[in-house]
Amino acid sequence: MKVREIMTRPVMVVHTDTPVQEAAAMLTAHNITSMPVLDDDDQVVGIVSEADLIRERMPRHENDNTDHGVPAHLVSQVMTDTVVCLPDSADTADAAELMLNYDVRAVPIVSGSRLQGIVSRRDLLRSLVRDDDAIAAEVRSRLDYYAGRHGRWSVEVDDGVVTVGGRFEDEAERQVVSVLARTVSGVSSVHTDRHHHHVTTS
């Protein structure tokens, strides 16, 4: 799966000269934890998070000579300026690896140098837990292809558990259908009814 399929867009962004208080208000209003920071040319130059802003509100220690004890007013003074971006053609696995390696909660997605979207840990988790309807549609498609016609078996999915209903020619066919259904991403288990046509011989 590509990051462009799960990224959030449009992206809430701030600029280097955005006031810290305004950035904090935006995070709160939109219920997000971080935002990309753009420069005057709309290039991604950093990322600012709740942690950055909260840290800024804490009282400074006497031995902290940052800005000589003067509270920061602009995002550029509190943002994390080592930001890792991914092209929109990257896979979600690449985003997961970046988040783990760099301990970041969100990765801006770019096309060339232009910001296209952002992928958060929440987006990644949501992509792993597939919607039951999407799973059912894919299982039906694979079974229809195998059967050579539409609707030979009924498919129901509940929280990743697939139930395939209908008749099977024999135990071997039932096993094939079960294996086919299990190959679909998001399927946790497969149940099939055990009815099959009885072949009588004279």
pLDDT digits (tens, 9 = 90+) for 122-172: 888 877 766 788 899 999 999 999 999 999 999 999 888 999 999 999 999
Strands 114-120 and 106-111: antiparallel
Is the pLDDT score of 116 beyond 90? Answer: yes
Place of tokens 């602009």: 74
Q: Which of 127, 98, 106 is nearest to 186 (CA)?
A: 127
Please give the Cα distance from 148 to 86 (Å, whole number).
41
Strands 44-49 and 34-38: antiparallel
Is the pLDDT score of 86 beyond 50? Answer: yes
189 three-class SS:
strand
pTM score over 0.75: no
Tell me what the pLDDT averaged over the chain comes to.
Answer: 86
Is the pLDDT score of 72 beyond 80? Answer: no
What is the pLDDT at residue 7? 92
What is the pLDDT at residue 145? 93
Burial 28-54 (b: 16+ CB within 10 A, else e): eeeebebbbbbeeeeebbbbbbbebbe
Binning pLDDT at 50, 70 and 90, where does residue 1 land?
confident
Question: Counting Cβ atoms within 10 Å, is residue 169 exposed (0-12), middle (13-18) or buried (19+)?
Answer: exposed
What is the pLDDT at residue 189? 92
- The beta strands (E) that lie in 59-187 are given as 86-87, 106-111, 114-120, 154-158, 161-165
What is the pLDDT at residue 199? 43
Question: Which residue segments constitute the domains of the chain, with CATH numbers given?
Answer: 3-128 (3.10.580.10), 132-192 (3.30.1340.30)
Per-residue model confidence as pLDDT tens digits over 23-62? 999 999 998 889 999 999 999 999 999 888 887 666 555 5
- The beta strands (E) that lie in the chain are given as 14-15, 34-38, 44-49, 86-87, 106-111, 114-120, 154-158, 161-165, 189-192
Q: What is the pLDDT averaged over residues 98-114?
A: 90
Cα dihedral value 150, 155, 157, 161, nearest 10: -120
Is the pLDDT score of 202 beyond 70? Answer: no
